[in-house]
Amino acid sequence: MEDETHGITERRERFAAMFTRSLPADVTSSATTLGGRPALQLRTATPGTAGEDVLLYLHGGGFVVGSARVTAHISAALLRHLDGRAVSLDYRLAPEHPFPAAPDDCLAAYRELLDSGVDPQRLVLAGDSAGAALAVVTMTRARDAGLPMPAAAVLFSPAVDLTLSGASMRSKNGVDPVFAPADLAWLFDRYLAGGDGAAPEASPVFADLTGLPPLLIQVGSRELLLDDAVRLAGRAGADEVAVTLEVVPGQPHVFQLDDESAEAAAALERAGRFLAARSGGEKEES
Report the catalytic residues: 129
Distance (Å) of CA 160 to CA 60, 168, 248: 12, 13, 19
Taking each helix axis from N to C end, the angle separating 262-278 and 72-79, rounded to the nearest 10 degrees, works out to 50
Amino acid type, 26? D
Q: Output the CA torsion sign for 66, 72, 73, 74.
A: positive
Q: Is 174 left (phi over 0), alpha (psi -120 to 50) or beta?
A: left
Cis upstream peptide for 100 (omega within 30°):
yes
Strands 84-89 and 37-44: antiparallel
